[in-house]
Amino acid sequence: MVREFTSEEIVKIGQLRSLLIAEKASPPPNETFEDDYYLVKWLRARNLDVSKAHEMLLASLAWRRENRIDGILDREGEVPEKYKKTNPTGYFGDDEDGNPILCLPLGRYKNRDTIADIGLQAFLRFYFAWMESVANFLKEKEAETGKKGLQIIQLVDMECYSIREIMYQPVREFVKESQAILSANYPESLKVMLIINAPSVFALAFKLVKHLLPKETLAKIDIYGQDEEEWKRVLRSKCAQLNKVPVRWGGTLISKDIFGAEGTEACVWSHGPIALSFFTDDVIDSHGFKKVKVGARDKYKMDVFTTSSRSEIRWRFNTEDHDIGFQVVCPRGSTLVPWRRLDSHNSMQEGTITCETVGKYQLVFDNSFSYTKAKMVKYYVQVVEEGEDEDDNLQDVELIDTGYDHHFSESMVENI
């Protein structure tokens, strides 16, 4: 439910408005200083300190002028079409109070590749445009529903997330700058952020970035692992329009595919249309995955060699349609990772082992239990020798525990 004004807020809204009128400040397009809901956001962001809220608002207006934010959505070339298609946002209806639910399939975004291609500053311009589009979307929803003070519920899907994204220093810099800009210029826009399908490597990624996030944002983050029933139950409890949520995320929206990515009437994605390939082969292959077909009643044994003790072997894999057995054996023939039949068609499987001895190790994809079905396996395997790390040196990254409380699902607690 939208928060009503307290008597103290009503008084301070008037005080802030008087200051702005006295100095003849100009609000952004689609906003007015006569709107109490617009002014109260700045006051709440500064604990109802009128002087600090006034300073914050003036700084934001200056930022908008310096970065030419007004009209950014109308100018051609601000957001290249190919990046619109690789960074989609889905509208999944509203909660019972009218707050819109936006899905960001962040695990499939290619931010690392995009920043390497166009540079950090150009990518920040893309983010400015995205924030402005969300702000305009909120205004449209308020006009449509007659409800003021609406906020965004973000559903951030980490399926297919690669740790190589956050290992890249410019990506961490983007997180830091984008969150600072969001906090300073779009206050009180986020109601809650639900992070779902968080893989085990997300524990490291979250440690790397959480000290870059404002504490107000951290307090609104709930994190869920790959237990679909758990996070779907939470999403269903918040969403009042399940007919606008694709089947893949627990809704009832029927389209040509379970993601709501194909079919003009059912497509839920802006910056599109989004091809179904966004949710399947394209992203997986872009992160260096390979494919192998394991025949019925057959095994695929992958030899991996280490050259120093204390090396690490890291792997990620999934299958297209059915489960598969998996194990790792060490040079002397003993089992290092016990055989298990894994539901790799439902979620990405990943793991790391530390090798005590130098030599050959084997990763075994076992389909011998299947008499009729071959399995297509997509896998990524890396050997990290002692003293090395994946892609980038992390010595400059300080793992900081901010001490802020978050909600973690039971499946994530043991990893974070």
- In this predicted model, what pLDDT tens digit does every residue of 171-201 receive, in sequence order? 999 999 998 999 999 999 999 999 999 887 7
Tokens coding 243 = 């007919």
| Of 32 and 80, the one with more pLDDT | 32
pLDDT digits (tens, 9 = 90+) for 123-166: 998 899 999 999 999 999 999 999 999 999 999 999 888 877 88
Cα gap 194→154, rounded to integer Å: 6
pLDDT digits (tens, 9 = 90+) for 75-111: 755 666 777 778 889 999 999 999 999 999 999 888 9
pTM reported for the whole predicted model? 0.72
- Structural domain boundaries in the chain: 7-66, 81-285, 289-384
Give the class (CATH, top level) of 289-384: mainly beta
| pLDDT of 290 | 83
| AA identity, residue 86 | T
Tokens coding 80 = 């290249």
- 358: DSSP letter: -
Query: Among the residues of 24-105, which ranges form H helices?
Result: 36-45, 50-66, 81-86
CATH 3.40.50.2000 holds for 81-285: no
What is the CATH number assigned to the segment(s) 7-66? 1.10.8
Q: Which residue in 245, 33, 271 sits closest to 133, CA to CA? A: 271
